[in-house]
Amino acid sequence: MITTIAFLGPAGTFTETAVHKFAAHLPEVETMPVGSPSEAVAAVRAGQAEYACVAIENSVDGAVTTTFDALVEGEPVQIYREVDIPVAFSIMTRPDTEDIKRLSTHPVAFQQIRGWVKEHLPEVEFVPASSNAAAAEAVARGDADAAAAPARAAEIFGLETMAQGVADIKGAATRFVLVGRPGKPTARTGQDRTSVIFTLPNEPGSLVGALQDFAHRGVDLSRIESRPTREAFGEYRFYIDLIGHIEDQPVAEALRALWLRAQNVLFLGSWPAATPAGRPPRDLAAADEWVARARRGQ
């Protein structure tokens, strides 16, 4: 059986690198390059692809808001895996280029190389692209003079590399997630991440109360973001990642409490964390056994 994964194309993006990492956990994989994270998730909703591979967070620039919005643009979807991809760029040009006046890359990527550009190409004009590989393609067409993209893009589009390993902050990485239709969460590993999206009544203390539901149960939050609902000023959706799996009793109890408190809750999944980000919830089985022994007078 062939598994189709939609991803931000064309070939040569960091997203494509993430696709190949995810492919190790799947049967034979066919890739579907699209123009945006929204299109990739829409392909899953439409049944054109089993999964979408999308960037969700960058260690330098933070949340990828286009992905956050895509997750709530239609029918529910679910995250099954994640992978962290180290991010460093090559600066590439056409072989005959003598003067670089226009540099193209994805806006998120540009934030990660601003220092290098200021030092080496101070007069250059930034040309935003839908992806880093699309920027390389634009250079090959003559629509820009240089691109910041993964090294492989130079090979794909016949460009020359003038600088390698460009990154203002060494060790930068982008987290990608594998999104599919709702189903049984990926099996618990003991080093897991769970994500939910929710809205709350516009009342004093509603967010504090929701966060305390996790704190009281010892559930560690690794991220909290908010995005406007686009329905009215002052109305927001909250996105949280927490350490643990829905099969962990403290996590399940905290999510139950959130459901009772919130206006609505969307479960985005539980899956293995690429790198440990906090303390997993305590195993309550030992505490239950202690109480049981005390009741028996042991």
- Quick one: 188 and 286 in the same domain? yes
Which pLDDT does position 282 carry in this prediction?
80
Sign of CA dihedral 267, 270, 274, 280: positive
- Quick one: 248 and 111 in the same domain? no
- Quick one: 135 and 189 in the same domain? no
Indicate the residue among 138, 166, 194 that finishes a domain: 166
- Quick one: 193 and 298 in the same domain? yes
- Quick one: 179 and 199 in the same domain? no
- Check pLDDT > 80 for residue 38: yes
- Quick one: 210 and 294 in the same domain? yes
- Quick one: 201 and 228 in the same domain? yes
- Quick one: 103 and 60 in the same domain? no
- By three-state DSSP, how is residue 176 classified? strand
Q: Which domain holds residue 297?
A: 184-298
Please give the average per-residue pLDDT across 89-99, as a whole number.
94
For 107-146, write each residue's pLDDT tens digit. Answer: 989 989 999 999 999 999 999 999 999 999 999 999 999 9
- Check pLDDT > 90 for residue 37: yes
The first and second tokens of residue 121, run together, are 């190409």
Q: Cα–Cα distances in Å, from 182 out to 75, 77, 105, 175, 185? A: 9, 5, 33, 21, 8
Indicate the residue among 126, 156, 183 that finishes a domain: 183
Burial of residue 21, with CB atoms counted within 10 A of its CB: 0-12 exposed, 13-18 middle, 19 or more buried: middle
Q: What percent of the chain has pLDDT over 70?
A: 100
For 202-237, write each residue's pLDDT tens digit. Answer: 888 899 999 999 999 999 999 999 998 887 777 889
- Quick one: 178 and 112 in the same domain? no
For 145-157, write each residue's pLDDT tens digit. Answer: 999 999 999 999 9
Q: What is the CATH number of the domain that holds 24?
A: 3.40.190.10
Nearest to 168, CA basis, from 249, 109, 93: 109
- Quick one: 98 and 8 in the same domain? no
- Quick one: 81 and 101 in the same domain? no
Indicate the residue among 137, 166, 195 that finishes a domain: 166
Residues whose CB falls within 8 Å of the CB of residue 253, separated by 6 or more in sequence, listed in order: 217
Q: What is the CATH number of the domain that holds 237?
A: 3.30.70.260
Which pLDDT does position 164 carry in this prediction?
94
Q: How many domains does the chain have?
A: 3
Query: Of 27-31, 79-83, 192-196, 266-270, where does mean pLDDT reach its minimum?
Result: 27-31
Nearest to 6, CA basis, from 67, 89, 69: 67
- Quick one: 78 and 109 in the same domain? no
Q: How confident is the model at residue 85 (pLDDT cuts 50, 70, 90)?
A: very high
